[in-house]
Amino acid sequence: MLAQEIIRTKREGHSLDETQIQHFVRGLVDGSWSEGQVAALGMAIFLRGMTRDEAVALTRAMQHSGRVLSWPDMPGPVLDKHSSGGVGDKLSLMLAPLVAACGGHVPMIAGRGLGHTGGTVDKLEAIPGYCTTPSPADFDRIVRTLGCAIIGQTGDLAPADKRFYATRDVTATVESVPLITASILSKKLAAGLQGLAMDVKCGNGAFAATPAFAQELAGSIVEVAQGAGLRTHALITDMNQVLGAEIGNALEVQGALDYLTGRVPRDPRTHELTLSLAAEMLLMGGLAPDLPAARKTLQAALDSGAAAERFGRMVAALGGPTDLLEDPGRHLPAAPVIRPVPAPRAGRLTAMQTRDIGLIIVELGGGRRLPGDTLDMRVGFNGVRQLGDVVDAGEPLAYVHAASVQAADAAAARLQAAITLSDASAPWTAAPLVLGRLA
């Protein structure tokens, strides 16, 4: 079978059969397909699309291109959550221990930051000693005994996806719904899951900027996952503002700890989305008869401290400090410069350029310009005000954490420019957080 004939088939708008797709995926792994051929097929798929059956076949082939995890004799359902990326989205840090405290087992294999969006693995590496690359035996043991472990992606899970994505990233073919679908699901299927809650972000801080694109992506993920044998529910959620009050690696860890322990009042949007996604996980795992019952179980795990205790034990098991819950200030790195970002005038916050705010973190050093960049875990914002809030002139819109006075001043000016203040007396209605559900 010739690579150029497979490319020709898709270029002409025809469907690829399973044999052709498997040939392509083998070529990704063994190098028998050149970069030019990989790029050509990626562009052909970008322009011509894929049927549901093609997307299922590609997903399965990439799933089996490397090691596939299994969890025999697991005492509870194996569940996970995935987000399409956002700004201030620290939910994985709360969801894994929360679901574990309710009887689920969450082997979460997470990613690093990409562009303006933060990465779960980067956030966890702000915790001194936390190992995001444990041995397979340790990963298995921690998931079985504690119910959750959040680690980084390994090269032996869906290696075909790693090469294909790297080529797509430099050939302007990332924004393909079937290819995004196969990329996400091949890794989740390789993790041996029984249920997946998908958070598809929509808005000016999301990969899916429009409701139509978010609906198409969510629908594709649910349909292809089901076709590949993985029960999946998807929520389409708003990302037209920062999620929660913290942005930046160590600051988001602190925010997750505050949420789990209840030391400070929980941000309503963060709490609602955490419960909504976790409830879908419990429902798919048979740990609750319906969503209202699932939410009651989850709230009880928060109120009792069981979820926080599970997070603390997970951190310690993966090499982090044993007293992170009790004394986070002793362990999380702090920036040398912390100062308020004053509101330039009085008014109500009515809009945020959320993507631009995420890019401020990159400029501060908390995100990557190049893949090998070393992150400054200390930098970011906390105390970020939310849409609908009314502020006086000079009142803090947030607090910037920076490595220098100059960096703090530049970040403060960019944040002020990214926030719209309207007349405080103007009518205001909050946008819904969950825009749609597919199951």
Which residues are marked as active site?
A: 80-83, 120, 168, 183, 187-188
> What does 202-223 look like in DSSP terms, one character per residue?
ESTTSSB-SHHHHHHHHHHHHH
Measured CA to CA, the distance from residue 368 to residue 404 in angstroms comes to 18
Q: Are 132 and 125 in contact (CB under 8 A)?
A: yes
Residue 253 CB contacts under 8 Å (≥ 6 apart), including other chains: 90, 93, 123, 124, 126, 127, 328, 332
Closest CA to 280 of 171, 155, 434, 69: 434
Ramachandran class of 158: left when φ > 0, alpha when ψ lies in -120 to 50, beta otherwise? left
Rounded Cα distance between 223 and 215, Å, is 12
Could you give the dihedral angle defined by the CA atoms of residues 232, 200, 191 and 374, in that order, rounded to the nearest 10 degrees? Answer: -170
Give the integer Cα–Cα distance in Å for 336 and 338: 7
C-alpha torsion 19→25→29→34, nearest 10: 100
Kindly give, in sequence order, each residue whose CB lies less than 8 Å from that of residue 40, ignoring residues fewer than 6 positions away: 7, 11
Strands 347-352 and 419-422: antiparallel
Residue 199 is encoded by which pair of tokens? 């958070």
HSE of 356, CA atoms in CB hemisphere, 13 A: 13
| Coil, strand or helix at 97 | helix
Beta bridge partners of 339: 400
34-69 burial: b if 16+ Cβ within 10 Å, else e: eeebbbbbbbbbbeebbeeebbbbbbbbbbbbbeeb
Rounded to the nearest 5°, which phi and psi values hold at 156? -95, 0
